[in-house]
Structure 1
Amino acid sequence: MANHRRHGPAVPQQDPRLVRTDDDWLHLPNRWGIPVDICAGTDVPIESGAVDEILTVLETADTLERLGAVTGHTGAEIDRVVLTPDVHKGAGIPIGTVLQTRGVLIPQAVGNDVNCGMRLETTSLTVDRVRPRLDALERRLRHLFFEGGRRIALSGVQREALLREGLPGLLGAGAPSAPGAPQADGVWRALRPGDAAPGRIHGAHCPAATADAFRDWIHSAGGTSYDSVIGSVGGGNHFAELQYVSAVHDRQAAYAWGFGLGQVVLMVHSGSLSLGQRANAVGLERARAAWPGGVPLPGNRIIPIMPGERSEPARRRYLDAFGNAANFAVGNRFFLALMMRAGLAAECGELDGELVYDAPHNLLWRYGDERVVHRKGATPAGGYAEAEGGPYAMWGEPVIVPGSMGAASYVMRGRGNPRTLASACHGAGRRVRRGAAVRASDAALDAFLREFRVVTPLDHRDPAVARRSDVMAAWRRDLKQEAPWVYKDIGPVVSSLSRAGVADPVVELRPLLTVKG
């Protein structure tokens, strides 16, 4: 496997609070006795800020004990914590955290961007066919993504079907009809059979009894209209990217999954946008409303939703809004993929392909024994048992691990490792905070832009734009926050997953072009 190390010491300095148990695992002792395992090789840095943050999260054990004494529900607990190799400081809970609880929901352990995740599709195009068309493709994609070209027509019925039943519901209610109808316009024309193929979307839809939290979005159509929300990449590290298969690590799995050397694929990383923020706000509001009177709110500001008659309405309201946002996120990635398909078809000719997998990052899973697995910035990595009955039963679940902008990405196959709660990392992980990243040199950014193509709302090659120093400064500042040097090297991260028995590499992907919001 290629190791894409750019610079830095071979062995990062280890936080003294962590105990390394072998070359691929660390443990974090804590006064609560909660098992905290970190999957990370000796060459993967773990920032001290993330360790500080997870220790603060563990204070929730004290909160649960106090609540149990007041409410009588004494069984609620944090059962286990797993940190993936890309772990880094978040906003209260580290990105790359898998939290298993019993008898309690913790909305903040999923966060604002409910069901942020990855969608990966193959195409019938080759890199040799696409590379000569990149200039024209860049212009086409800028129009589709940022200049009004997407034209995603949705009715109120379609919107509600998406929020309540996920992508299968949307396609059942909103398949394009006769030519000239609003649904047949815009990127809908890139629709093809199999877009909601069973077994290729992890959790094809989240159950939701109602979509009441999002009536304003549902009824904003006033009939069928072009939607202004769905089909947005979003900010931060979200992207839509064209890549090609540069290396094959598991020939049998690659062949079975439809990959071949030099083949162009498209990858989308996005989430639930403003709907996820609303869902998280509903969870926090409901948790506060159900909080027992006279009990101080937690010092770490993490507010769980406990079981019981008093909190049941809060739990239902949150889970419905959560399910709506999660379903919207899958639909958002679907439309982003349609936009990429439409751009490719317009510039490179008609293409075939299929969905490889759509995998969530920020989600929760409830089990019958009152266990709840919360993943924040971590992806499922199920093995044979978890993939049983689906197209990947012989291989394990596809695990999509993107690198930083301009770096390689990997598709792996999960092994259902119980030590990570069948979870893997969702990328390389930041090693430089955004505030510090903007202080990087302009020369480094210029060198990167000479080698790599980034499509943004602003065309920095336009002379009229280039003359606006204020506009260019803001654009460069945003790009520096997501530049390659602010992320960990993808090679050691992927090697950690493989050596630890979490997931094995199938193919390596190299980028051709990235669309950033």
Structure 2
Amino acid sequence: MSSSPTRLQRAFARHGIALEQHGAVYQVRRGHSEARILLPHDLPLEAKAVSQLLDFAGVGWPDRPQPVRCACATPDFHPGSLAPVGSIVATDADVVIPAAIGTDIYCGMRLITTGLRQDALAAHEPRWIRHLTRRLLVGETDVPVPSQAFRALFAQGPRACLDELAAEGVWAAADRARLLREVAGCVGLDGLVADPAYAPEHLVGTRERVRAADLGTVGSGNHFVEFQIVEAIHDRNIAHAAGLRLGEVAVMIHSGSRGVGFHVGQRWMDQARSAWQQGHKHPPSGLYALRGAAAQQCLAAMGTAARYAWLNRVVIAEWVREALESCVGADASRLVVDVPHNFVAAEQGLHLHRKGTTPAHAGDWALLPGSMGDASYLVAGLGNPDWLWSCSHGAGRALRRQVVRRQVRQDGASSPTWRCITLREERRLQEDPSAYKPIGPVLHSQEQAGLLRAAVQLRPWLTFKA
């Protein structure tokens, strides 16, 4: 580096942030807070996101100012509401920062194969599009769940929940043996701690059947259900194990814990704020931490929302399977992987707060979606401790929704190579591919830094947005 400050260093210095650049890695520091950011040269470093990351790294209390052990960010890094998306912060094992995760707890991706080539599905396209539009967008759902099944889910886990489901509604045609096998393909699911005491009362009360209005729903924002074509195979062994073959169709599902996540997240963010020591100035960042017993209770509450997120993605996958069977006459689908990217995990003797980042331990599979107009990837984690055993959860936003909406309206619609099925034109504008970073640099920078290895490349065909 030059001995004189660069333009970027001078710009960040005006925000009180010291910055050093070493290749694709930025070291940032403000006061006692410091962090590391992996970002390709051709992607901009946003001052707001950096400031939020340093706020995240500086969380503490007046009598214990430094429970954070490490803070870093992946190339999908961009500003969030309080904590930046694409960040990982490791705290002491008795600390949880609820607002770092927010209310979309255990949001994640699920990828299933269809066992069908594109031409086989295209021949029946109008039928299955109508079918899934009713289920995913109109909300014509039928998901009866006994209260006992919800109690089993939160007290014992996914397998106990599946054992309690009656053969009605969406579960009537479900392959129970397949669903039980697929639990093992959900990254981190078996390690969750949960408790029915933290669930909304209407789910675990005395009613014989519960029809939760949000169960089996995609949600708004960047959530989606996308039909994708296997476009390239970079690791034959992983592709074979995943059941992904060139030219075949897979379906990627991106959704989270819906109302249960809001119930849990809001409650514990409020509790962390109310626990702040009286007589001391509140942190301007709005990030508060819990410690000791309160932190462990918060972790169990988050685990409760996380198990609901798993069930939500299971139901969405069953809607897809229902459409394949009723409209195409085939249902040879199987789970590739289900992986979360917005949660707190007890790992390595720490609490790892992953805000829009994905576990990438050695051998783990992860999913990196691009946009409705860019490729997505199945990747293998390499377990890099310098980046807290994590990788990005996708390309990351490049433009705020208000900006991209205005820009697309001004520029006018071109002939898109992508297709979006939605009942809300606003969603198509907000989620235009121009709103996202290109997936190529985001992926390749992580390969070069030793976070992951690309295995299978998937091209978007058709995306459902609620």
TM-score past 0.5 threshold: yes
Distance 2:391 2:251 in 1: 21
Q: Aligned in 2, Cα 1:44/1:234: closer, same or farther, shift over 3 Å?
A: same
Q: Aligned in 2, Cα 1:120/1:99: closer, same or farther, shift over 3 Å?
A: same
Q: Is the 8 A contact 2:96 2:298 kept in 1?
A: no
Distance 1:501 1:236 in 2: 31
Q: Aligned in 2, Cα 1:266/1:489: closer, same or farther, shift over 3 Å?
A: same
Shift of 1:317: 3.8
1:467-486 map, 5 Å: 475-486=424-435
1:58-457 map, 5 Å: 58-60=57-59, 63-64=60-61, 66-68=62-64, 77-102=67-92, 103-174=94-165, 176=166, 183-186=167-170, 188-197=172-181, 199-205=184-190, 206-219=192-205, 222-307=207-292, 312=293, 314-367=294-347, 369=349, 371-383=350-362, 396-442=363-409, 446-447=413-414, 451-456=417-422
Residue 452 of structure 2, aligned match among 471, 488, 503: 503
Shift of 1:192: 4.6
Give the length in aligned residue pairs. Answer: 450
Shift of 1:406: 2.8
Distance 1:405 1:445 in 2: 17
TM-score (norm 1): 0.82
Q: Is the 8 A contact 1:276 1:325 kept in 2?
A: yes
> 1:83-129, CA deviations, whole angstroms, 9 ceiling, x for partnerless residues?
01000000011000100011421111222110000111112111121
Shift of 1:322: 1.1
Q: Is the 8 A contact 2:33 2:55 kept in 1?
A: no
3-state secondary structure, aligned to 2:96: coil
3-state secondary structure, aligned to 2:325: helix
> 1:46-70, CA deviations, whole angstroms, 9 ceiling, x for partnerless residues?
322211222333442xx43x133xx
Q: Aligned in 2, Cα 1:258/1:295: closer, same or farther, shift over 3 Å?
A: same
- After the TM superposition, which parts of structure 1 deviate over 6 Å for at least 4 consecutive aligned residues? none
Q: Aligned in 2, Cα 1:406/1:342: closer, same or farther, shift over 3 Å?
A: farther
Distance 1:489 1:368 in 2: 32
Shift of 1:163: 3.0
Shift of 1:196: 3.9
3-state secondary structure, aligned to 1:493: helix
3-state secondary structure, aligned to 1:438: helix
Distance 2:184 2:320 in 1: 23
Distance 1:125 1:90 in 2: 38
Say which structure is richer in strand. 2
Q: Aligned in 2, Cα 1:127/1:287: closer, same or farther, shift over 3 Å?
A: same
3-state secondary structure, aligned to 1:440: helix
Distance 2:364 2:83 in 1: 26
Residue in 1 that maps onto 2:16: none
Amino acid at match of 1:21: H
Residue in 1 that maps onto 2:31: 31
Distance 1:136 1:235 in 2: 24
Shift of 1:335: 0.6
Shift of 1:428: 0.6
> 1:209-260, CA deviations, whole angstroms, 9 ceiling, x for partnerless residues?
33344112333x8322543120010011001111110111112221122211
> 1:301-345, CA deviations, whole angstroms, 9 ceiling, x for partnerless residues?
2111123xxxx2x33442332111011001101111111111122
Residue in 2 that maps onto 1:389: none
Q: Aligned in 2, Cα 1:132/1:105: closer, same or farther, shift over 3 Å?
A: same
Identity %: 33
3-state secondary structure, aligned to 1:217: helix
Amino acid at match of 2:419: R
Q: Cα RMSD (Å) of the superposition? A: 2.2
Distance 1:301 1:171 in 2: 39
Amino acid at match of 1:372: H
Q: Is the 8 A contact 2:69 2:91 kept in 1?
A: yes
Listed as ranges, the gaps of 5+ residues in structure 1 are 1-12, 69-73, 177-182, 384-395, 459-474
Distance 1:498 1:199 in 2: 26
Shift of 1:507: 0.6
Q: Is the 8 A contact 1:166 1:331 kept in 2?
A: no
3-state secondary structure, aligned to 1:504: strand
Amino acid at match of 2:71: V
Q: Aligned in 2, Cα 1:188/1:230: closer, same or farther, shift over 3 Å?
A: farther
Distance 1:443 1:507 in 2: 36
Distance 1:195 1:331 in 2: 11
Q: Is the 8 A contact 1:188 1:338 kept in 2?
A: no
Residue in 2 that maps onto 1:463: none
Listed as ranges, the gaps of 5+ residues in structure 2 are 1-6, 13-18
> 1:118-150, CA deviations, whole angstroms, 9 ceiling, x for partnerless residues?
111112111121123222221111112233543
Amino acid at match of 2:28: L
Amino acid at match of 1:433: R
